[in-house]
Amino acid sequence: MNDRADFYTRISECKLRPLWEVLDDLIPDEPKPKTQAMLWRYDAIRPFILESGRLITAQEAVRRVLVLENPGLPDSSLITSALYSGLQLILPGEIASSHRHSQSALRFILEGEGAYTAVDGERTIMHPGDFIITPSWTWHDHGNESQEPVVWLDGLDVPIVALFDAQFAERYPEQMQQIARAEGDSEARWASNMQPLTHEHRRRASPIFNYPYVTSRAALAKLMADGMMDAARGVKMRYINPLTGGWAMPTIGTFLQLLPKGFAGRPHRATDAAVYCCAEGEGSATIAGKRFDWGPHDVFVVPSWQMLELSASAESVLFSFSDRPVQEALDLLREEVA
């Protein structure tokens, strides 16, 4: 052993390391995520969100967000090893100035109506439950022309982009970008199972950047009424790019699911760690044997390859997002139902 230890010391001077000493850590028998199961109760943290609005302006902060940091990933600003998430506040009369970055972003609106987001020259009004995307390297700003605060859940692929050292950001020269298209233009072009005969949309992200909750919720209700029900997931659908049928975002998979009252789901797990947010209803998530009770706007995270059992004490809708598109592209995704 002394010879071996001496060998390790000498090779370390050449920045070498013996694989046999670290092989089990590098290639374990199954995932060993640092991400921990966690639930953030919206009622408990909402006062802090509103307090932040009195402490710093949207202009000072650039984006006034309280980051949801996973306790298993301290000082990382991450909710899972592959994703960032936070809760953003914009107050009446405020503008969150325009910028763009290589990271892709999503918004899931929690409370308040009348605020807008603008993406590459088009505005859309936000309503609770709407799913809104900001594709990579698109100008975007937010404004609140209503009389009430508006809060939404952010999700970004920050660590995925950082893995490749491909982080870029740029400020727009003015506070707001120039509006070039009427509100609803994207919906008219792409959201009716039609598309313009000639089009120039070449991004991998969806050309639709607002998926209204009222439309998505109605689709879930219709399918549930028609008897579509998965024993583990209830009625679960994914948001898609209407041009390709693929994911709405190339790096982040996004979902909406409906659980009927009294639902008790079978245990299931997957390698994509997922972030869930309750749009309506109440129930529980049992993650690796630990129960978390959730209600409206609560957020919880399910680590990679940990068993999840969902139940609902009232008819409930859950929004969720994960790094599933990346795992699928790399043939890494694995899932099972017990």
What rounded mean pLDDT belongs to the chain? Answer: 96
- Main-chain phi, psi angles of 217, to 5 degrees: -65, -40
Q: Exposure string (b/e) for 258-288, b if CB count within 10 Å is 16 or more? A: bbeeebebebbbbbbbbbbbbbbbbbbbbbe
- CB contact set of 20 (below 8 Å; sequence gap of 6+): none
Q: Is the pTM of this model over 0.85?
A: yes
Select from 68, 69, 107, 70 the least CA-distant residue to 90.
107
Cβ atoms of residues 317 and 281 within 8 Å:
yes
For residue 97, how many other CB atoms are within 10 A of its CB?
17
Q: Of the given ranges (132-136, 173-177, 259-263, 316-320), which has the lowest mean pLDDT? A: 173-177
Query: Contacts for 45-53 with beta carbons within 8 Å, 24 or more apart?
Result: 45/87, 46/151, 46/297, 49/87, 49/89, 49/151, 50/89, 50/149, 52/89, 53/89, 53/91, 53/149
Residue 70 has pLDDT above 80, yes or no: yes
Q: What residue type is 118 in one-letter code? A: A
pLDDT at residue 80, as a whole number: 98
Q: 27-337: which CATH topology? A: Jelly Rolls (2.60.120)
Alpha helices in 56-94 (DSSP H): 58-61
Q: What residue type is 299 in one-letter code? A: V
Q: What residue type is 104 in one-letter code? A: S
Question: Sheet holding 105-111: strands in order across?
Answer: 65-67, 84-90, 150-156, 105-111, 131-134, 210-211
CA–CA separation, 71 vs 68, rounded Å? 9
Select from 287, 293, 257 the least CA-distant residue to 72.
287
pLDDT category at 1 given cuts 50, 70, 90 is low
pLDDT at residue 202, as a whole number: 80
What distance, in Å, lies between the first and last C-alpha atoms of the chain? 45
pLDDT at residue 48, as a whole number: 98
Residue 6 has pLDDT above 70, yes or no: yes
| Domain chopping of the chain, boundaries | 27-337
β-bridge mates for residue 335, sequence order: 270
- CB contact set of 220 (below 8 Å; sequence gap of 6+): 235, 237, 256, 257, 258, 317
CA–CA separation, 211 vs 206, rounded Å? 10
Token pair of 7, please?
């060998």
Q: How far is CA 197 from CA 122, 156, 194, 205, in A?
A: 21, 33, 9, 19
Cβ atoms of residues 104 and 252 within 8 Å:
yes
Let me know how long the chain is. Answer: 338
How many percent of the chain have pLDDT more than 70? 100
